[in-house]
Every structure is written in C-alpha cells, then in structure tokens.
Amino acid sequence: MKTPGLLDLMAVMVLLVCVASSLPLVSGDTGQRVSMTLVRGAAALGAFCLDGSLPAYHLDKGFGAGSNYWLLQFEGGGWCNDIASCVDRSKTRRGSTRFMSKTAVFTGILSNNASLNPDFYNWNKVRLRYCDGASFAGDTQIRNGASMLYFRGQRIWKAIILDLLPKGLAKARRALLTGCSAGGLSTFLHCDSFTSYLPRTANVKCMSDAGFFLDAIDVASNRTMRSFYTKLVSLQGVQKNLDPNCTRAFYPEPSLCFFPQYALRFIRTPMFILNSAYDVFQFHHGLVPPSADRTGRWNRCKLNVTACNPHQLDALQGFRTDMLGALMNFIRNSTRGGMFINPCFDHCQSALQETWLSPTSPRIHNKTIARTVGDWYFGRRKEVKEIGCSYPCDKTCHNLISASTTTDSLGNLDI
C-alpha cells in the first residue's frame, strides 16, 4: 500500500518536471539570472526551512516607471504531510536552502524584457523560495531523534516580507502577489495578509497559477487530496493560520479551508485565477492517484491523452465540469476577479515564456495569458474572465503530456 508520504514523493517528481519547465533554474535560459538573498533576520523570528536553514528569495530590482511597483511570486513544489516524507524533503532543495541553486532565471511574468513581459517588465520582482512543505502556512516544530524538523512556513512568509519592506516594498504603489502550483495555493492563503503589509493607497491584487486544487472525488470514489491535506494541516500546525471566517464556516472540518475552492469567497483582495481545466498534477494525483488505480488501467492515458478510452475521457471532462462548478460563484458574482481557464494538459503557465507570451503561447478568444492578466490588473477591460472550450478543441495548448497526434508536448512525466 502506498502511504501519504509516497504521494508527496510522487507529487514532487511530477512537480520537478513542471517546475523545471515553468520556473527555470538552469543555465541556457535567455532570461535574467538573479542571485539568492538569505533572510539573515529570519532566525530571530523562528523562521526556518525544514532542516533549520535560513529562508531565501531572489530580488530583481525595478527601474524607471516601475521602481515603486512590486511583483512577488511564491515558488511551488508539492507538500509533505508525515514525518518520513518531510525528513526526506529536508534533505533536498524543497526543504533546505543549503541545497538550492544560488541563482534563478527569471522568465515569463518575471522577465525584465519589455517585449516579452510588457506590463510587468520594469517592476521589482521577487521569487520566494519554498522550503517548508505546507505552502508557507505551517507554524510548529517536531523533534526527530537528535534533530528538529521545522514547520515554519508562516514565519518564513512574514520574515521575507519584513526583509523586503525597507527595500522599497513599504512604498509600493502597485503590487501583485502570485505563485505556481503549491505556490499558487499560497497565493490564496496569503492574499489578504499581503495587502495588510502595504500602503492603503496601493493597488494590490493576487494571481494564482495552477493553484486551484480541487477537493476532488477520485476514480475510486475516494477523496485522496482531502485526506492528504487534512494530515498536512494537522502535522504542520496550519489551522491557526487559515482564514478564521472560513474555518468557522466549515467547522468541524477547518482543514477544508486549505482548499482554494472553499477559501476563495472569504478573500477580500481582487484575485485572478489562471488554471488548466485538465491540470496535469491534479489529473495524476487528485483524479487518478496511484491508490485509485492499482492495476494500472490509467497508465497509458496518463502519458498520452489520445490513448484514453471513452470512459476515461468522460472522467476528464467531468473533472473540468467540477472545476468550473467550484468556480461558478466566482464567475457570476466576483466583480473584481479575473480568470483564464484553458483546456491544456499543463501545470503552471505564467513563468514559462512560451506559455506566458510568445508567438505560439496558449490563447482563449485570441488573447494570451499575459494580455489577459494585464487587462485585468490595469482595468483595461470591464470583464476579464476567459474560459476555454473543452478538450480537444484548443490547438494553441502547450501540453506536458501528449494530448494531440499533431502537436509535440513540452515535457514528459515519465522520469
């Protein structure tokens, strides 16, 4: 039997591929290479990565008209919800700055090239490194033998903000908080908190990329993600950092507020949701987790959507229907919110140049992700809620798994 810890390990394997493509950290990229900054004052706040190392971020200073504008991006990379998987994680770049690359390549929404990122190129741009395993939301610690395991994501978030305030964030006139995957979930959890640190006159908004994780019923009729998150919230002391209005509304199951679909209606700051309706991570770990497919009937479908049988395609279309259903109140009633929900088999689309803004980037109604987000942030259009058609109608997708007999995929999950 696969344990919840193994779910994390497998999730990280997928996310390593997704992050490798959507959040470049390797040489050969054409983007700006930005050095890491350790948060020296974090120790005084008790803000440590899983292994006790100091947290970190990468800051690319803004210039010109963007000098007082700030964009902060949470890094993604899965979660851990038991001691064994968190110990394993603490020995990697997902749990320790000791193992992280000391530079990061900024592309997509982090690019400083006006032609590749016309709305945000000259902003102060920050990538918050992820090393706690609970979307920057935990606050406890556990002794593991002779060593300590630190679940201090909430304090890491605070320590980084406090480090950035005297560097100009305190004078921000415009700000956007964003993140990918587990970092996209962080955006939901910390959106209103971010607003509270900034001047009351600042134009503050938030955008989640691939962070709208559903409380899905899998193909074996289980709620695998709910079980996983419940254990995570308990282990890492997350509950006290969830929105109290949400936890009261969902008592006696406050851990449900870790799911964006339940927390969303309590968020006061304007929110943009960028997500694939067939998100690859959720396909592989929410809809069809290994525990729900012990005989491997979904293996070929998971690697190549064109190999899915009619029953499997119906399940995928049902997942899209469930996502749009979970967003329906937001679609109908949010006057300040925006969205871009496309039918791609992808995961994270804002930090990869090819999907953010390029001649071949995904489009809905001929609008790119970059243009749609910019239109929403700057109020260039009254209604900015783009919802794509269902698979297989969209020919502009960049898919992480094969989903077309004529279009090459960007990556392969079989690592």
pLDDT in tens, 326-381: 999 999 999 999 999 999 999 999 999 999 999 999 999 999 999 999 999 999 99
Q: Check if 279 is active-site.
A: yes
Active-site residue, from 51, 132, 209, 279:
279
Whole-model pTM: value is: 0.91
Terminal CA-CA length for the chain: 22
Within a domain: residue 145?
A: yes
Q: Check if 398 is active-site.
A: no
- 112 or 8, greater pLDDT: 112
Per-residue DSSP letter, 54:
P
Rounded CA-CA distance 212/19 in Å is: 17
211-223 pLDDT, tens digit each: 999 999 999 999 9
Per-residue DSSP letter, 344:
-
Within a domain: residue 97?
A: yes
**What mean pLDDT do residues 225-243 have?**
98
- Let me know if 141 is exposed, middle or buried by CB neighbors in 10 A (0-12, 13-18, 19+): middle
Within a domain: residue 22?
A: no
Tokens of 390: 């269902």
Residue 318 vs residues 13, 38, 247: alpha-carbon distances, Å: 26, 44, 28
pLDDT value for 287: 98
Tell me phi and psi for residue 132, to 5 degrees: -115, -25
386-409 pLDDT, tens digit each: 999 999 999 999 999 988 533 333
Within a domain: residue 60?
A: yes
Active-site residue, from 181, 186, 276, 291:
181
Given a cut of 70, whether residue 181 has pLDDT beyond it is yes
80-105 pLDDT, tens digit each: 999 999 999 999 999 999 999 999 99
Rounded CA-CA distance 74/400 in Å is: 21
Closest CA to 134 of 254, 217, 241: 241
Active-site residue, from 347, 361, 375, 394:
347
Q: Which residue has the tokens 């259009």?
A: 381
pLDDT value for 30: 73
The residues near 214 (Cβ < 8 Å, ≥ 6 apart) are: 225, 259, 261, 282, 286, 319, 322, 323, 326
Within a domain: residue 130?
A: yes
CB-CB contact of 181 with 76 (8 Å): yes
Within a domain: residue 412?
A: no
Rounded CA-CA distance 183/79 in Å is: 10
CATH of the domain at 267: 3.40.50.1820
Cis before 260 (ω within 30): no
Rounded CA-CA distance 391/345 in Å is: 9
48-72 pLDDT, tens digit each: 999 999 999 999 999 999 999 999 9
Residue 298's CB is within 10 A of a number of other CB atoms, namely 22
pLDDT value for 10: 42
Within a domain: residue 8?
A: no
Rounded CA-CA distance 297/276 in Å is: 24
Upper half-sphere CA count for residue 204 (Cβ side, 13 Å): 23
Within a domain: residue 124?
A: yes
Range of the domain at 131: 32-387
Three-state SS for 268?
A: coil
Least trusted range by pLDDT, from 139-143, 189-193, 232-236, 405-409: 405-409
Domain count across the chain: 1
177 strand-pairing partners? 72, 206
Give me the helices (H) in 53-152, please: 83-90
Given a cut of 90, whether residue 106 has pLDDT beyond it is yes
Q: Check if 291 is active-site.
A: no
CB-CB contact of 247 with 239 (8 Å): yes
Rounded CA-CA distance 260/267 in Å is: 10
